[in-house]
Amino acid sequence: MKNWIFLCVAIVSEVIATSALKQSDGFTKLAPSIVVVVGYGIAFYLLALTLRTIPMGVSYAIWSGLGVALITLVGWLQYDQKLDAAAIIGIAMIISGVIVMNVFSKTLGH
């Protein structure tokens, strides 16, 4: 169970770091740049811990799928970035894939 918590915190850390990456303006602003480095450091460390028990492909699929969905939400809410229907459908398909893996895959060892 703690490995799933590690994965969730890793995803949130990555989303925070990616959001700060935009704010860092190409690493020209110090505070957001520090958030980027620390956020990605935490994210990759926790992902590495997750890989001890959750298969790499599954971990990365969940990491990337939920990360894409969450950072898209941040872009929409924080930066007023608009999405068209195709983008929304694509993101919904990514989230659906993560759900299918979690509910039906025997690889996860539920």
Domain span holding position 60: 2-104
Helix 2-23 to helix 56-79 angle, to the nearest 10 degrees? 40
Query: What total number of domains does the chain contain?
Result: 1
pLDDT score at 4: 92
pLDDT score at 98: 84
Asked if residue 109 is part of any domain, the answer here is no
At 65-98, the pLDDT tens digits run 899 999 999 999 999 999 999 999 999 998 898 8
Contact 71, 15 (CB under 8 A): yes
Asked if residue 13 is part of any domain, the answer here is yes
Taking the mean position of all CA atoms in its chain, how far away is CA 74?
11
Asked if residue 23 is part of any domain, the answer here is yes
- pLDDT at residue 52 tops 90: yes
DSSP of 52-104, one letter per residue? TTS-HHHHHHHHHHHHHHHHHHHHHHHH-----HHHHHHHHHHHHHHHHHHHH
Q: What six digits make up the tokens of 102?
A: 């979690």
Asked if residue 32 is part of any domain, the answer here is yes
At 12-46, the pLDDT tens digits run 999 999 999 999 999 999 999 999 999 999 999 99
Asked if residue 57 is part of any domain, the answer here is yes
The structure's pTM equals 0.85
Q: What six digits make up the tokens of 28?
A: 């020209």
